[in-house]
Amino acid sequence: MTNTLYDALLLPHQGREKTFLTLKDGRTITYDAFLRIAARFANAMTKLGIGSGDRVAVQVKKSPEALAVYAACLGSGAIFLPLNTAYTPAEVEYFVTDAEAKLLICDGSSAEALKPVANKAGALLLTLNADGSGSFAELAEGMPQILSPAPRGPHDLAAFLYTSGTTGRSKGAMLTHDNLLSNAEALAKAWRFTSSDVLLHALPIFHTHGLFVATNTILLAGASMVFLPGLDLDDLVAWMPQATTMMGVPTFYTRLLSDARLDRDLTRHMRLFISGSAPLLAETHRDFEARTGHRILERYGMTETNMNISNPYEGERRAGTVGLPLPGISVRICDPESGAEVPAGEIGVIEIKGRNVFKGYWRMPEKTAQEFRPDGYFISGDLATKDADGYVTIVGRAKDLIISGGYNIYPKEIELLLDEQPGVLESAIIGVDHPDLGEGVVGVVVAKAGVRLEETILLAGIAGSLARFKQPRRIFIADELPRNTMGKVQKAMLRERYATTFMSS
């Protein structure tokens, strides 16, 4: 029997002594060594009673072992559920409970706080630390280092990725083996990845960008990664001469541009810089080219679809655009109401169809049905234009999504918490331009009659319930929120009013 993703991404590397990962301290891990770790982990899961289709939730720091858990889930047939390391126990509880995870693997430092979460959800709780230690690693010690992959077909589920909605309830996007494999195949071909490539990897691996876009593409190509813990300018500069490619969010590029060491000499070994997860300013694109001679390749994707659109590897990479549809993926720009395609140059919502498009939202059939057209196109909710040459430019987000530092933030979740704070009558959350993060989160609150609100107290009041990246960087107190005749808050007016919040004087 076959296992679609394991057979394509991992099985070809069994016994292969080529370096797969190079770590910050210079240690290397071969493909074969990585597969042996993954096999031990998969066999440990089987011993725990984790079988095909069971969900495994993982909130651990980035490490080779953390990546091996993903590989182990593929091999054992389990569904991988990565969770942002910044999520609070209250946030983790929702995901673990909603997905009915059978196993929760966390960092040792979080075990005490997450024990009640696991108990309430009926999940096993084991630990895995950044250095590879922990109770899960101990369980895997001595397990067979060879794996017989569980049978999994193209349409079987490989992963759940939760994406929040404007209603505040997070949705579990169900991604199949074929969703992920087809996208890796498209990207390896479109971006010309070969076994000679070395990817500079400083992205998190709980997100589709660092996990599926980067890792799956590298595995399929049989290439290597410099596997860094996170974004650190000194690390990027130190390791760039050893790399050929880099994937990053716009913040990577703005920070590199702030460093005098970024020049043509530093980047002479590189063949490709890729940016995504948030809009890249045209100014950043031009400045980077002026400093390095490299034109950043910007692309567009979503949690539900992985990558859909990309500037070309060969051909014009247009600043401010996300490029052209990837091979095998159909993209159209449509009127949000009628679903009719709009003429070139007019704004509409992006709709997508292809093997990469997810199976639907976990246990939300009505929501799934709402997000698809009758002819199978997925309605992204992102607003864009397409020019006469087919290049797509993102112009806004129909669902008020904020993207800060490459992370998706949904205003409703924060607004609900702010509205619960003592003395708050109502609130609005907006994203405004931020020179480093792309967008910074700003809160605007209205006080109840006779109450005096303090920014610091409001920030402290919600800090324990939200991951740090979701927390507002500023909260302003206003007399009222602007509304239209239908009573809807005019967030565009708020964005204009607070547009310069993070701009230097």
Question: Alpha-carbon dihedral of residues 204, 209, 212, 217, nearest 10 degrees?
Answer: -110
Structure confidence at residue 24 (pLDDT): 97
Whether the predicted pLDDT of 368 surpasses 90: yes
Residue 90 has a CB neighbour count (10 Å cut-off) of 12
> How confident is the model over 38-89, as pLDDT tens digits?
999 999 999 999 999 999 999 999 999 999 999 999 999 999 999 999 899 9
User: Given a cut of 70, is residue 165 above it in pLDDT?
Assistant: no
Residue 168 has pLDDT above 60, yes or no: no
For 41-54, the pLDDT digits (tens) are 999 999 999 999 99
The whole-angstrom separation of Cα 276 and Cα 252 is 10
Per the prediction, the chain carries an average pLDDT of: 94
Q: Which of 191-195, 370-374, 397-401 has the lowest mean pLDDT?
A: 397-401
pLDDT recorded at residue 167: 44
Q: How confident is the model at residue 437 (pLDDT cuts 50, 70, 90)?
A: very high
pLDDT, tens only, 283-336: 899 999 999 999 999 999 999 999 999 999 999 999 989 999 999 999 999 998
| CA distances (Å), origin 372, targets 305, 400, 404 | 13, 19, 27
Q: Is the pLDDT of residue 419 over 70?
A: yes
Residue 400 has pLDDT above 80, yes or no: no
Rounded to whole angstroms, the Cα distance separating 407 from 277 reads 7
pLDDT score of 412 more than 90: no
Residue 505 has pLDDT above 50, yes or no: no
Identify the CA nearest to 161 among candidates 70, 281, 291, 48: 70
Q: Is residue 142 scored above 70 in pLDDT?
A: yes
DSSP 367-436: HHHHTB-TTS-EEEEEEEEE-TT--EEEEEETT--EEETTEEE-HHHHHHHHHTSTTEEEEEEEEEEETT
User: Can you give the pTM of this predicted structure?
Assistant: 0.85
**Domains defined along the chain, listed by start:** 31-153 (3.40.50.980), 402-497 (3.30.300.30)
